[in-house]
């Protein structure tokens, strides 16, 4: 919910500093943060609420002739901010799915030069396949490469 407070602060800063019809770039910051950390729907809600609230605050002191142009500009701002919210929410979702999928083996791995067994944290030797399978989502299928096939099964 912190992004709501940030969005309100940006609205207040914009209201106090200027009433010009420039594109409110600072509104994108709380929307992006909401999309990244809270998901799609909070970001979309905030991206709709900010321009609407800005329209309500800005329309009150304006003459009726300027209301239509301000409403159109606000609609455009809202559409652009909603698109950015959806884009960043999707990007954050993709990044989280990649993070869940990737498990990295890091550091030095003590491996036997001959049998390729690995010494685990308990000091016991275990097969390479078992060691990697316990620490990642990798699965193994075994086969014989062409050079080993010639070397070990040439006469068969």
Is residue 118 pLDDT above 70, yes or no?
yes
Please write the tens of the pLDDT for every residue from 59-106.
Answer: 666 677 777 777 777 788 788 889 889 999 999 999 988 887 776 667
Asked if 22 and 70 sit in the same domain, the reply is yes
Strand partners, 126: 118
Q: What is the CA radius of gyration of the chain?
A: 29
Q: Which residue range is the domain that position 8 belongs to? A: 2-101
User: Cα-flanking dihedrals φ and ψ of residue 67, to 5°?
Assistant: -60, -40
The overall pTM is greater than 0.75: no
Predicted local confidence at residue 59, as pLDDT: 66
Asked if residue 150 belongs to a domain, the reply is: no
Q: 31 with 83: CB under 8 angstroms?
A: no
Asked if 108 and 42 sit in the same domain, the reply is no
Asked if 59 and 121 sit in the same domain, the reply is no
How many angstroms separate the CA atoms of 112 and 71, rounded?
A: 72
> What residues have CB less than 8 Å from 61, skipping those under 6 apart?
19
Asked if residue 135 belongs to a domain, the reply is: yes
């Amino acid at each position: 919910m912190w992004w709501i407070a940030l969005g309100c602060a940006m609205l207040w800063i914009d209201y106090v500093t200027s009433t010009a019809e420039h594109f409110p770039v600072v509104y994108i910051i709380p929307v992006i943060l909401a999309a990244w950390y809270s998901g799609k729907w909070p970001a979309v809600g905030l991206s709709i609420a900010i321009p609407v609230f800005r329209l309500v605050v800005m329309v009150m002191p304006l003459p009726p002739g300027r209301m239509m142009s301000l409403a159109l500009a606000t609609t455009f701002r809202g559409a652009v901010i909603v698109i950015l919210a959806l884009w960043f929410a999707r990007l954050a979702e993709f990044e989280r799915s990649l993070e869940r999928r990737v498990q990295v083996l890091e550091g030095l791995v003590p491996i036997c030069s001959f049998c390729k067994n690995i010494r685990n944290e308990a000091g016991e030797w275990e097969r390479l396949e078992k060691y990697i399978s316990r620490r990642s989502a990798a699965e193994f299928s075994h086969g014989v490469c062409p050079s080993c096939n010639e070397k070990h099964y040439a006469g068969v």
